[in-house]
Chain A
Amino acid sequence: MNENPLLTLAGYFALLSLFAVGGANAAIPEMHRIAVDVMHWMNDRQFADMFAIAQVSPGPNIIIVTLIGYHVAGFAGAAVATAAMCGPTCLMAFFVARTWDRFKEARWRIAIQAGLVPVSLGLIAASAFVLARSADHNIYAAAITAVTAVVGFATRINPLWIFAAGGLLGLSGWL
């Protein structure tokens, strides 16, 4: 592919941003498909690494696009990917916010809101699946995932502690 990588990044992420209902986590499978399967920008492990870095960085998790952009085309790539992922949806948010309150009780609005929830649920579940396939390559990693899922579901513990525990277990050579 001899296209300008900046244009490719801008096109893919701008398009993706318009369909990612459910936020960064819902967009993960499509990012993975593009970055690993279609464009071969990186391998599975590198993608999983970037997901991990974005999770432990402060701020919105969507920052993974900045890491992908940097990997593909340096600082310019990072800037373009981030702007493409946030720009269209920010403009949309800006204009919709001005009219939204007026339709608070409208039936179509309630239908749209209710209708999109299961779509985002399916997409986020797909994220978990795609990432689990690259992360849980042995029984110990799968065990960490399973324990974390239960702890995350049953408690309101700060995720940072869970990440720290996972990182330490990884460091200790169990994985």
Chain B
Amino acid sequence: MNDSSRLHSDTPSAATLPSLSELFRAFVIVSISGFGGALPWARRKIVEQKGWMTAEEFNEAFALSQFLPGPNVVNFSVVFGSRFGGAPGAAVALAGLMGPPLIIVFVLAVLYAHFGDLEVLSRILAGITAAAVGLLMAVVAKMAAPLFRVRRDWAPFVAIAAFTGVAIMHWPLPWVFLVLAPVSVACAWFKR
């Protein structure tokens, strides 16, 4: 265990601190139980079962992970791991989160390469995709509700512009982002 990395962090207020192997095992469990998104499992494990973070600390760390670009749960494993174990902690948490799913998905990739053209398989996958798209729409609706309610009147325009640019115009994401993100942040800055 790396002592200096623990010292650098002023945050952990929870009584118990995980060791590197505990961190690894926790994120292995989070990853393999997290069908359809690993976040609820991460919360259950870290806040409710282990008490490594309070609910507020968890929300704070997760807000940061969401705000950073890239996969949220992956960011979260790095933020969480580094808070408790510095760079080794981050590496161990990330390895625990990504290791088992990678092994499973490698197997699935090989199977798909061999059987992807089977009629039965493509029918099943079509059904799953149709359902998954519906869930995605539910996520959009849940995210949109507070934006349209709160007094952030610019937000719907930014959301619609991002949607139009990417989905309708097929513009590359980096361009859309580089135009809209500064505008949106500026609006948030002056609106307060």
Contacts and interface: CB of A to CB of B under 8 A. Distances in A.
A115 B104 CA distance: 37
B109 A67 contact: yes
A73 B87 CA distance: 31
A127 B174 CA distance: 15
A128 B140 contact: yes
A7 interface: no
B70 A85 contact: yes
B162 to A, nearest CB: 3
B61 to A, nearest CB: 8
Contact of A171 (B70, B123, B154): B123
B135 A148 contact: yes
A22 to B, nearest CB: 8
Q: Would you call the interface of chain A mostly helix, strand, loop, or mixed?
A: helix
A121 B67 contact: no
Interface in B99-117: 100-102, 104-106, 108-110, 112-113, 116
Contacts of B133: 128, 131-132, 135-136, 145, 148
Interface string B69-97: 11111110011001100010010001001
Interface in A54-90: 54-63, 66-67, 70-71, 75, 78, 82, 85-86, 88-90
Q: Would you call the interface of chain B mostly helix, strand, loop, or mixed?
A: helix
Interface in A17-47: 17-25, 27, 29-30, 33, 37, 45-46
The contact size tier of chain A is: 35 or more
Contacts of B173: 16, 19-20, 27, 29-30, 33, 123
Nearest to A123: B162
Contacts of B147: 117-118, 121
Interface of A: 15-25, 27, 29-30, 33, 37, 45-46, 48-63, 66-67, 70-71, 75, 78, 82, 85-86, 88-90, 92-94, 96-98, 100-101, 104, 107-108, 110-132, 134-136, 141-142, 144-153, 158-160, 162-163, 165-171, 173-175
